[in-house]
Each structure stands twice: as C-alpha cells, then as structure tokens.
Chain A
C-alpha cells in the first residue's frame, strides 16, 4: 500500500520539476541560456534584422560586438542574401534564430524602410516567404518583434501580402514585395514562428554606450576590434529583445496562432525604462564576470579573426 503511494508522490515531484511554460521551452530551444557567456558570445547563433528607421547609427556594431549577426537594410532581398552569406562563411556560429525588429504595418506585412517618406527605400515580405527563403540556410526559429505581429499570421496574407489593404502605413514598396512561391506549403516548414502572445505596438529604446559600465565599454571595444569594426557608441534595443535576454517571466510567446483584431495598445514608458536598467545591469554583470577580476582588457587592435573578413556583410 505504501509503495504505490510513494511512487505517485515521486512522479508528482518529478512532474513539477519539469513543468515549464511553452515560452520557456521555446526560449530554451531558440536561444539557449549560457550562464557563463562572454560578452562576445551573448548573441551567438542569433541574428537580428533591423529596419533602418528603427535603428541608430552604428547599431549593428553594438550587436556584432555582443556576438549577434546583425542586418540593417531597407531591402529584404539584401537581408536574405546577407543571412545566407553569413551562414556559409561562419558555420561554427551559424544563425539558428532570427529576431525580426521591423515594422508590422499594423499586421499587414513585415516592412523595412529608411523613413516614412513615400519615396524612401522600402520593401515588404510575408511571413511565409521569410520561412521559405531562410529555411534552406539553417534557420529554425523566427521571433517577430513587430507591431501587431500575430495579424501577420492571418491565412489570407501568410503567403502573399495584399498591397491594397487600405492601411495608410502600407507605403509604396519602392524596393518590392517578397511573397512565398505558389508551391510552398507552410505545413512542411520546420521553422517555428513565434510572436508575442498579446498583440500590441512594440517599442524600441535608444541608448548610448556611455550608460554602460567602463568595464563593459572596454569589453565591447575589445570585441569590436577583434572583428575589425569600430567600437559602437549607441544602440537601439527593443523591449522584447530585452525580455528575451533577461528571461523575463512576463514574456509570453505564441506560435502559429493568428488573430484579426488590430491593437493600438502601447506598453507604458516606465516598463521600458525598467527593462533597460535591467538590461544594462545584465550586460555589466557579464563583463564584470569576464574582466572584472582581471586586469582591464587591452584595447589594442587584436589580430583579425576570420569573422572580420566579412564585416561589410554583417554591417
């Protein structure tokens, strides 16, 4: 009588240990947490795509110094080519997870643009086309941090965008629209597309490297010079990216579930500031763990690694 009871209790305990949320599971797969990560390895295996108008000058250099692959273009075709080139050149740190920091155009298409000028460089891509194009490059997870991103998964526009949707944010596609091919079947795709569970307008904060500790700045300088790029001076970071990096328990992802409702909700400013402070503290802790107890890292120009050969690719 006692033995089955104890076994049941043991299984209950075991089940509780393994009770993790789908978001935690997804994050653990898409962006494995490395407790002893070095500054230059924080973003290993993760690529970030920025719309130029959601970035700051030299933004990609900040992320490259942290180990990310970074792309900032107004042309989706160039971005996709860049991802392919990167994974060919650096198979040891190939992109497996892509974080999309672009506009969602109210859920009508992933948009990258230089500005809101109607004549500015601008292009769109459907989620299906993104899956189709990057699956062959080895990407397995796509995290969309865009406005009303769950609306992008609507079946009507999943493969082919509607350029006549009537939304005033859908400005002229001066550099084209990329749709999925006719014979592409989303059910056969191995890529997991994740979006925030609650649809709202995502926000990005612009910060400066001066806000980081001197140790972190020196670590970033060393990392940047080892890649053959100039040390960054400022950066733009989205609330969602900070939540992912910090493993924020309030972050909640949804996969493959679309909604129709358009949301105008915005997160309060205080939330972004709080996340930013935590982000700065996290990066400072990483650099302190790596360099704090040692002598400050030399800022001499380090020998170029193979990664520096394609600095222009990873701009």
Chain B
C-alpha cells in the first residue's frame, strides 16, 4: 500500500514537472508567424503578358426599318387579367423586327499590331420574280434569296507604342497585365 502510494506520488511529481516546464516554456516561447501565406490583396496576373482585345464588336450602324407596331396610349398591349386570382394575363406580342443594316468594326490587337476590320451589313433581300404566264394556266413562282450585301475592308497597322483603345470601344474593357514583382537590389 505504501509503495503504491509512493509510486503514485512520484508519477504525479513527474507529470507536474513536465507540465510545469511546458507551461513555463509556452509563456516564454515565441509564437511563430505564418509564412508563405497569401497577402490579403489579390492582384490578377496575366501569364502571357500580352494584351488581347480581340472581339471588340463596335457596331456603329443604326438599325433601320422595323415593322413592329408601337403601342398606343389608348390601346394597351397587355389585356386585362381575368377576374380569377392567379389568372394569366393575355399578352399581345408585337411582331419581331428582324431586319438590320449598318456598319461595324472589329479591332484585333496583339503585341502592338492593330487590325481593324470594317464590315457593312444589311438584311438579306428577298426578290420575287414575276410569275411567268405564257399560254398555260399553270403559275410558277420562283423565290430567290440574294446573299447579304457584305463589304469588308481590312486595315492593318503596326504600332510600337502600347495599345490605345479605339474611340469606338464602348462595350469591352481591357485589363492590362499586372505583375507583383518588386524592384530588387543586390548587396554585392
């Protein structure tokens, strides 16, 4: 009994010594600082370093024509809903306007070379030939669809200065390549 008590006492003493030393160490020791973690701010990087602005569709032509009937003040396009709760409203949709015409420019810039492509386009026209009625009663109607009138003018210029955005650029913005490298000085 006595030996067991002594053993327990020695065990407790050893543990007390260990934890005491460890506690002293933790109070006097220094905390380490995280290394290698990313900074709070994130900067986008471009791996190629090339500014690519291909696909700037700068449409300058005005859409002409249009067969849609404008809504009038005294004739709303949406009809009254039925008296039933949750009932759907009957909507009278306007006729779609599929015609188009105008000119557009496409600016492609890569490594100081700027290529501008001007395109003029219009709605394909449908030409209906007059029915040929010779001496028979049979009526033949031929419908011919002409290809759209597209005229392309390609201008390629080479610039040594960094890319300058076209005046017509309104929809696409270019993010320049940004690197986070700092100036380094060698202590030789």
Contact = CB atoms under 8 A, between A and B. Distances in A.
B36 interface: yes
A245 to B, nearest CB: 8
Contact of A281 (B7, B17, B34, B184): B34
A285 to B, nearest CB: 9
A6 interface: yes
A226 B124 CA distance: 76
Nearest to B24: A17
A9 interface: yes
Nearest to A27: B30
A104 B183 contact: no
Contacts of B37: 277-278, 281
Contact of B182 (A35, A169, A206): A206
Contacts of A238: 187
Nearest to B28: A28
Given A6-B11, A14-B17, A206 B188 contact: no
Interface in A252-291: 266, 269, 272-278, 280-282, 284
A203 B186 contact: yes
A225 interface: no
B39 interface: yes
Most A Cβ at <10 Å: residue of B37, B38, B185, B186: B185
Given A2-B10, A248-B35, A273-B181, A33 B30 contact: yes
Contacts of B38: 277, 281
Contact of A104 (B11, B41, B187): B187
A206 B11 contact: no
Contacts of B18: 10, 13-14
A128 B25 CA distance: 36
A75 interface: no
A96 B51 CA distance: 52
A27 B32 CA distance: 12
A248 B40 CA distance: 19
A26 interface: no
Interface string A203-230: 1111100010100000000000000000
B139 interface: no
Nearest to B26: A17
Given A6-B14, A14-B17, A18-B25, A247 B33 contact: yes
Contacts of A9: 14
Contacts of B17: 10, 14
B47 to A, nearest CB: 15
B6 A3 contact: yes
Contacts of A2: 7, 10-11
Interface residues of A, number: 58
Nearest to A274: B36
A132 interface: no
A145 interface: yes
B27 to A, nearest CB: 11
Interface in B162-183: 180-183
A101 B187 contact: yes
A281 B40 contact: yes
A145 B31 CA distance: 24
A143 to B, nearest CB: 13
A211 B36 contact: no
A192 B7 CA distance: 47
A247 B11 CA distance: 37
Interface in A160-202: 169, 201-202
Contacts of A142: none
A136 interface: no
Closest 9 CB pairs of A and B: A33-B30, A10-B14, A277-B39, A206-B183, A3-B10, A205-B182, A6-B14, A202-B187, A14-B21
Interface of A: 2-3, 6-7, 9-10, 13-14, 17-18, 24, 27-28, 32-33, 35, 51, 53-54, 101-106, 145-147, 169, 201-207, 211, 213, 236, 238, 245-249, 266, 269, 272-278, 280-282, 284
Given A14-B21, A54-B187, 16 more contacts: A6-B11, A27-B30, A33-B30, A35-B31, A53-B185, A169-B188, A204-B184, A205-B182, A205-B183, A205-B185, A206-B184, A246-B35, A249-B32, A278-B37, A278-B39, A284-B39
14 contacts: A2-B10, A14-B22, A17-B25, A54-B185, A145-B187, A202-B187, A204-B185, A206-B183, A206-B184, A213-B40, A245-B33, A247-B33, A274-B36, A276-B182
